[in-house]
Amino acid sequence: MILGIETSCDETAAAVIREGKVLSSVVRSQVDLFREFGGIVPEISSRRHLELIQIIVEEALSRAGVGVGELAGIAATKKPGLIGSLLVGYSYAKALAYGLSVPLVGVDHLHSHVYSAEIGRKFEFPLLGVVVSGGHTAAYMVEGLEFKVVARTRDDAAGEALDKVAKKLGLGYPGGPIVEKIAVGGDPYAFDFPAVRLKDGSLDFSYSGLKSQAIRIIEREKLEGKRLKDFLASFQRAVVDQIIDRLQALVEIYKPVALAVTGGVSVNSHLRERVSRFAESKKLNLYLPEKKYCGDNAAMVGYLGEKLLKAGHREDLFSTPFPRTEASKGTKQFSAG
């Protein structure tokens, strides 16, 4: 039985996993806290994680009907994320692992998003794994537990672009679900947002140009009613166009047999439809996460963590998970002795 813990951003989450099965998955979102700010405030987020972590872990154990003494290992998100938020979950996990004398494994948040699509199924490899979220847009070639980055965003993430455009329109936070809802019935080609490649020819993602173009239109024109629907349908289409454009090119180069599209934005119906059509046209096996595993959750952390633990991955409970800087060199490092 593995306990998974996720606190990299604004969800406090814990889950219990056994042999790839999710016995419980508890997610407490902080989204309500950040509506008035239109985005996450890191200090507030860390404090909320601190208040909630114990309660959420207890809830996950109790829903799974598992006692803490039955845990064989702990998996916690180690990077990337907000440093204060990460530290809450990771330090909690470290202390619990030490107290229980069970191994701890640190999990990469983006790798766990990719593996969220395997829950209840079995991946085929080589797999092109894509994460489309509020903090990240990245693509990996995946072979078992080996991940090779093949594209990542140079600036904004796809979800971030949706969030910022919705904020500029005064529609609320987070923007992705609001944009999806309003865009229904809109004309996705009413506004011409081209899917651009970077000037250096790389296949990295870039959403800041598209976002700025959208913001200029918002500043120029009063968008209401059908016109607002058309605008958001076009913007959503353009966000997805870029993903499809990169997928086309990456599939040509890396020749995967399967494709996984994951992360908070992968709950979006327009993205799911387009990606499904694309996978079909290329005869790729497509894995989309169940909707409850698209956004941040700990089931994906426990799920990948269990595989990592089985493969022998272990964290040193006495080392810092974060790289030491020049300033800290020469400072005594605690050792397990």
Rounded to whole angstroms, how far apart are CA atoms 313 and 54? 25
Nearest distance in Å: CB 157, ligand KG4? 7
Q: How far is the CB of 178 from ligand KG4 (least distance, A)?
A: 8
DSSP 80-95: SS-HHHHHHHHHHHHH
* Binding-site member from 1, 2, 5, 9 for ligand KG4 (CB under 6 A): 9
User: Considering the complex, what minimum distance in angstroms separates the CB of residue 315 from Zn ion?
Assistant: 20
Evaluate whether 95 touches 74 at the Cβ level (below 8 Å). no
Applying the rule CB under 6 A, the residues between 255 and 314 that interact with ligand KG4 are 263-265, 267-268, 295-296
Q: Which helix (H) or strand (E) holds 286?
A: strand 285-287
Residue 199 sits at φ, ψ, to 5 deg, of -60, -30
The 155-194 contact track toward ligand KG4, x by CB under 6 A, reads ----xx-xx----------xxxx--x--------------
In the complex, the smallest distance separating the C-beta of residue 173 from ligand KG4, rounded to whole angstroms, is: 8
Minimal distance, residue 317 CB to ligand KG4, in Å: 26
Nearer Cβ to ligand KG4 (273/316): 273
Radius of gyration over every alpha carbon of the chain, rounded to an integer in angstroms: 21
- The CA distance from 161 to 217, in Å, is 14
Binding residues for Zn ion, rule: CB under 5 A, are 133, 296
| Beta carbon of residue 83, minimum distance to Zn ion (angstroms, whole number) | 15
Residues 205-264 that bind ligand KG4 (CB under 6 A): 263-264
How far from the centroid of its chain's Cα atoms is residue 15's Cα? 16
- CA distances 234 to 171, 238, 240, 277, 285, Å, are 17, 6, 10, 19, 28
Neighbours of 253 (CB within 10 A): 11
**DSSP class of 328:** G
Of 232 and 300, which CB lies nearer to Zn ion in the complex structure? 300
One of 134, 186, 289, 302 touching ligand KG4 (CB under 6 A) = 134
Between 42 and 177, name the residue whose CB sits nearer to ligand KG4.
Answer: 177
Q: Which residues are at the interface with ligand KG4 (CB under 6 A)? A: 9, 133-135, 159-160, 162-163, 174-177, 180, 263-265, 267-268, 295-296
